[in-house]
Structure 1
Amino acid sequence: MSLVIWADGRLVGQEEAALSAVDHGVTVGDGVFETCTVFDGQVFALTRHLQRLARSATGLGLAAPDEQKVRDGVAAVLDEAVRARGPFDGRLRITVTAGVGPLGSGRVPGAQTVVVAVQESAMAPTSRSVRSPWPRNERSAVAGLKTTSYAENVVALADAVAKGGDEAILANTVGDLCEGTGSNVFVERGGELVTPTLASGCLAGITRALLLEWGAEAGLPVREATDGELPFSVLDEVTRGEAQLVLTSSGRNVQPVTWLDGADVAVGDVSAAARELFEKLCRERLDP
């Protein structure tokens, strides 16, 4: 299925010009976005994604997007995609930019552009990950915000792909485990799944939060780390077979890592149980 795109109130073709050449999202990456999972033609956890979209916009100094306008765009692309393809699994992206602006960093107050796009896709069951040589800056002005300024992630992911992986794992500037370029990370140690706190600079992932909530509900030992509990060097334990690694995101759900920096690594028992739990509940609870 080709991309179905809605831009500021109308469906547009994949090759059709839909944004101004001086949209601030294009010229300086001034915008925010959400990527959502689609199950059987319906968006998973849309309310949580829209809440985070508003938080990211506010954190970037933009007005919170018009939620009804965004929901209208979501409905339009899903209706068109289902009409053409029938119920499908895929990914939906919502992008909100600061709209038409000057060539520099200044903004035009009140301007805003909204784009929604959807495409059929499938999730891989496991990941091949690589440690990134570049850190995440937990003190950045945009730390924890899901912005369209994604160049650091693009470079880090390209490096990982060149080394045989599909995700790059980043430390922060003080040497703690932080996140992937598009995922949160959990480490299985001592019979527990432990994830870095948001203070590490990682994104407040929707899948991360749901795994913490659903894991606690189901009695799985899943929790946030304490200060200093997950240094980046914990990945050495993973390659030695003393710990296991899991990625979470809307494009991965709960995805065990089976290869890290060239070494095959095992899937932990808690990791496997967490994946099974999430795969079950995400289709039962569409908007948790």
Structure 2
Amino acid sequence: MSLVIWAEGRLVAAGEAAMSAVDHGITVGDGVFETCTVFDGHVFALTRHLARLARSAKGLGLQAPDESRVREGVAAVVEEMAATVGPFDGRLRITVTAGVGPLGSGRVEGAQTVVVAAQDSVMAPTSRSVRSPWPRNERSAIAGLKTTSYAENVVALAHAKDQGADETILPNTVGDLCEGTGSNVFVERAGELVTPRLDTGALAGITRELVLEWGAEAGLPVREAREGELPFDVLDEVSAGRAGLVLTSSGRNVQPVTWLDGVDVAVGEVSREVRDLFEVRCRERLDP
């Protein structure tokens, strides 16, 4: 796989120092990020990702990122990747931190650090998932924000991989189905594909948002859950074959779960329709 990195206005090698050792993004995880899908050298849904980047920054109390600077970095890495490997499918990550700061949690206002990286990759068609033993805190100060404070997701995902899975599904603190470590979840049952409400603590995923929009546009039974409709134990229905499960994210698109907690599970009809619809629309509408 090829990897291209742009940091603070210049292309850098993967092993090259590019940030201060006391950047607040390194010392305390004080930053925000977005991961975008790249199709044939084109960044998908960049406008929506940049809008969410700004929302996450605001939620952390950071100044809105300089969009022109971010777009400069995006253009630079896409151009360099194209020169290296040609038109590519893969991922692009935008990271904005609070910049150089003190060793503690206190923040010094100043110039932000912007890093953009791109890598070619291939999406897996399906997922093997497990239930997480740890909940998402829907009352956290950073609930619903895409921040670089990602340690709890790292630990939860490592636990899943130890069990032969590629994702783990989290409840929230009151027992509702919430999300994966890096994905939103949809449950198919009774002929509908339903996703948890955002007040469960789930991230407002770009792919989730588009599935709801495009599904409704196509007349498919896709919607957000009613309050209390998706308790975490709805996954028992998936394991028993009475419901289906789908993950959505920029690294997965619409990805059916075919194995849950060691049990093979079926993919529902609506899940297949929504997956097929998304695969067509995301290449027709590159910046929806």
For the criterion TM > 0.5, the same-fold answer is yes
Counterpart residue type for residue 176 of structure 1 = D
Deviations 1:90-117 (A, max 9, x none): 0000000000000000111123100000
Report the equivalent of 2:201.
201
Report the equivalent of 1:78.
78
Counterpart residue type for residue 25 of structure 2 = G
Mapping for residues 83-162 of structure 1, pairs under 5 Å: 83-162=83-162
Give the Cα–Cα distance (whole angstroms) in 1 for the partners of residues 199 and 163 of structure 2.
29
Mapping for residues 1-288 of structure 1, pairs under 5 Å: 1-288=1-288
Give the Cα–Cα distance (whole angstroms) in 1 for the partners of residues 114 and 121 of structure 2.
22
Deviations 1:156-205 (A, max 9, x none): 00000001100000000000000000000000010000000100000000
Give the Cα–Cα distance (whole angstroms) in 2 for the partners of residues 175 and 284 of structure 1.
38
Give the Cα–Cα distance (whole angstroms) in 1 for the partners of residues 86 and 251 of structure 2.
21
Q: CA RMSD in A?
A: 0.5
Give the Cα–Cα distance (whole angstroms) in 1 for the partners of residues 161 and 9 of structure 2.
36
Deviations 1:60-107 (A, max 9, x none): 000010000000000000000001111010000000000000000011
More divergent stretch after superposition (105-114 vs 205-214)? 105-114
Give the Cα–Cα distance (whole angstroms) in 2 for the partners of residues 109 and 88 of structure 1.
38
Instruction: For residue 2 of structure 1, report the CA deviation from its aligned partner.
Output: 2.2
Give the Cα–Cα distance (whole angstroms) in 1 for the partners of residues 111 and 43 of structure 2.
27
Deviations 1:7-64 (A, max 9, x none): 0111111111000000000000000000000000010000000000000000000001
Counterpart residue type for residue 35 of structure 1 = T
Give the Cα–Cα distance (whole angstroms) in 2 for the partners of residues 41 and 98 of structure 1.
29
Contiguous gaps of at least 5 residues in structure 2: none
- Aligned partner of residue 96 in structure 2, secondary structure: strand
Give the Cα–Cα distance (whole angstroms) in 1 for the partners of residues 248 and 29 of structure 2.
25
Counterpart residue type for residue 122 of structure 2 = A
Instruction: For residue 3 of structure 1, report the CA deviation from its aligned partner.
Output: 1.1
Deviations 1:105-152 (A, max 9, x none): 011112310000000000000000000000000000000000000000
Give the Cα–Cα distance (whole angstroms) in 2 for the partners of residues 4 and 157 of structure 1.
25
Give the Cα–Cα distance (whole angstroms) in 2 for the partners of residues 109 and 130 of structure 1.
41
Deviations 1:235-256 (A, max 9, x none): 0000000000000000000000
User: What is the identity percentage for the equivalent residue pairs of Structure 1 and Structure 2?
Assistant: 81
- Aligned partner of residue 4 in structure 1, secondary structure: strand
Tell me the TM-score normalized by structure 1: 0.99
Give the Cα–Cα distance (whole angstroms) in 1 for the partners of residues 243 and 69 of structure 2.
45
Give the Cα–Cα distance (whole angstroms) in 2 for the partners of residues 39 and 117 of structure 1.
15
Tell me the TM-score normalized by structure 2: 0.99
Deviations 1:183-230 (A, max 9, x none): 000000100000001000000000000000000000110000001000
Give the Cα–Cα distance (whole angstroms) in 2 for the partners of residues 2 and 259 of structure 1.
30
